[in-house]
Structure 1
Amino acid sequence: MIRKILLLTLLLITITSFSQEDNFKIPNYKTIEKEIKDKKSPFYYPKLMERFVSNDTLLTTDDYQHLYLGYVFQPKYNAFWKSPDELKLREFYSKQKLEPQDYDEIIKLANHSLSDFPFDLRQLNFLTYVYHLKGDDKSSDMTSLKFHNIMNAIFSTGDGKKCETGFHVILVEHEYVLLNVFEIESKSQSLVGNCDYLSFEKGKYNVDGIFFNIEKMLENESKSLK
């Protein structure tokens, strides 16, 4: 069932990401932090988050990049975050087929998870599918839009070809969501500088691996250990 969920998003993500090839902008975290804290800035974080939560469809990729990467400067940011309803949601993920009586419970649990961490890509993707099954196309389209825009914000930060241009992520799980969308299997994971390097089976894909910049995750981990 998970494969079916992910295939719903594959086409749009593929088209968008390839259109951005060599058109990325490596994030400047000092600038991002300054802008999201400036009440006069269009990227002032409380206002951006308010627009995001209220389903503003006019948010740009720049807005989403500030939302996503700017979250690392929020007090709630936790590089080790897990959904409070992970075990319950996992039961639904493991089902071969969802029943109509499952829909409302999944929607409740997934939205609860998102209220705790608004960039839970796995639940946004799951919600897109469940809303579609329920016949609520308006909600399905909105959650799909959020999922795609967050993914595009990640794609806009690099090309993944080397650590210096790795895709910036704020949660390890997001690395695997990206790979799952493209139905790519990683062979191993290793830390290279400030990057996670996910290697692939030699010759199976066009590249041998992808770099993800996790510098802010490492900083958050260091702070939590002090």
Structure 2
Amino acid sequence: MLKQIFILLLFCFAIQLHSQEIGFTTPDYKAIEKEINDKNSKFYYPKLMERLTKNDTLLSHDEYRHLYLGYVFQPKYNAFWTSPDEEQLRKYYDKEELEVSDYDEIIKLSNHTLSDFPFDLKQLNFLTYIYHLKGDETSAKIASFRFHSIMNVILSSGDGKKCETGFHVLMVDHEYILLSLFEIESKGQSLVENCDYLSFEKGAYNVDGIYFNIEKMLENEKKMLR
């Protein structure tokens, strides 16, 4: 039951995202790195992150673009990050139906996870849902805004039609969340140059698969193995 509602909520978000018809611009990581390290720039990373953690809903698309893509240059970036609260949260994911008494604990755990990794799309979506169930529409809109803003950055980073124009993501989990948004099921995954290629069932969709650029993930993996 909970999983069905969760997928439905994701799909509702997808309709809104798709309707915006955002064009794509391939990320210039050198330019992004320069901007986020410049104390005089409006994209200076510590200031942007401070606004993000304070749930500033006035952050623009360009500011979110520097936040999300610029995270790869932060010491905390780990392409294989997992939530420290994953085990505790899983019992709520797997419930057929949530109880009112569950809401506050889920909110606490999800926000703790987001304090560790502010781009956890799974938790942002779950938070939006729980706040809505609780009747806290203001908090639901704030969590939804961050979720939408991050997804818009990913969708504006490429078109996914080939590796050269693949969608840029911080972690593999974000690839599958994007597919969930459009109710697309992957039948296989393969590494093509510096891209993850997720293939679909032949003839099921307009394309046979989608490319995700994981160049920065691969670089991060190499650093961790040194």
TM range (shorter): over 0.9
Give the superposition deviation at 1:2.
2.4
| One-letter amino acid of the counterpart of residue 131, structure 1 | Y
Contact 1:68 1:119 in 2 (8 A): yes
Match of 1:20 in 2: 21
Unpaired segments of 5 or more residues in structure 2? none
1:34 corresponds in structure 2 to 34
Paired position in structure 2 for 1:77: 77
1:51 is matched with which residue?
Answer: 51
Partner Cα distance (2:121, 2:100) in 1 = 23
What SS does structure 1 have at the residue aligned with 2:190? strand
Write the distance in 2 (CA, Å) between the matches of 1:111 and 1:159: 31
Q: Deviations along 1:4-29, whole A, 9 cap, x unmatched?
A: 123224234334335436x2100000
The amino acid across from 1:64 in the alignment is Y
| Of 176-185 and 146-155, the range deviating more from structure 2 | 176-185
Question: Which residue does the alignment assign to 1:11?
Answer: 12
Structure 1: distance between partners of 2:185 and 2:87: 24
| Aligned partner letter, 1:8 | L
- Residue identity in the other structure for 2:91: E
The offset of 1:195, in angstroms, is 0.3
Per-residue CA distance 1:123-149 (angstroms, 9 max, x = gap): 000000001111111101110111001
For residue 175 of structure 2, give the secondary structure of its aligned residue in structure 1: helix
Q: Distance in 2 between matches of 1:62 and 1:126?
A: 25
Instruction: Show the 5 A alignment for 1:57-136.
Output: 57-136=57-136
- 2:137 and 2:19 map into 1 onto residues whose CA distance is 27
Count residues with an aligned counterpart: 225
Q: CA deviation at 1:88?
A: 1.1
**After alignment, is 154-163 or 54-63 more displaced?**
54-63
1:221 counterpart residue number: 221
- CA deviation map 1:162-198 (0-9, x unaligned): 0000000011100011111211110000000110000
Q: What is the rounded CA distance, in whole Å, between the counterparts of 2:110 and 2:122 in structure 1?
A: 9
Q: What are structure 1's unaligned runs of at least 5 residues? A: none
Q: Is the 8 A contact 2:200 2:208 kept in 1?
A: yes
Aligned to 1:183: 183
Partner SS, residue 49 of structure 1: helix
Residue identity (%) = 68
TM-score after normalising by structure 2: 0.96
C-alpha RMSD over aligned residues: 1.2
Deviation of residue 48 (structure 1)?
A: 0.7
Q: Which stretches of structure 1, 4 residues or longer, exceed 6 Å deviation after superposition? A: none
Change (3 A) 1:118 1:178: same
Letter in 2 for 1:220: N
Q: In the alignment, what sits opposite 1:205?
A: 205
